[in-house]
Amino acid sequence: ARTRRGAALKPAKQRLAKAERAWEKAEHRVAELQAQLADPDVYADADKVKELVARHDAAKTVASEAMSEWEIPAAALEDDER
């Protein structure tokens, strides 16, 4: 019974791992853009600042969506493991 249950959980664990990698990648991109925005020299170019802020906002949205996508299989696994 335990082996069957483990096999049944395998697809959910794979979805969770995939979602976690996507979330980590998205968070890494947010951090990269934050580092660029932390550079005082960037602010000498208003157009570059606007572009970076827009890219940063978009990256935060992607990271938030990735987190939401991670929460779905995480919650399902948590329920299944109880």
pLDDT tens digit sequence for 29-60: 999 999 999 999 999 999 999 999 999 999 99
SS3 2: helix
H runs (alpha helix) in 1-82: 2-37, 46-80
Residue 72: what pLDDT?
87
Q: What percent of the chain stands above pLDDT 70?
A: 88
Categorise residue 45: left if φ over 0, alpha if ψ from -120 to 50, beta otherwise.
beta
Decide if 37 contacts 53 (C-beta within 8 A).
yes
pTM of the full structure:
0.81
Give dist(CA 22, CA 8) in Å, integer: 23
Q: Which residue has the higher pLDDT, 30 or 9?
A: 30
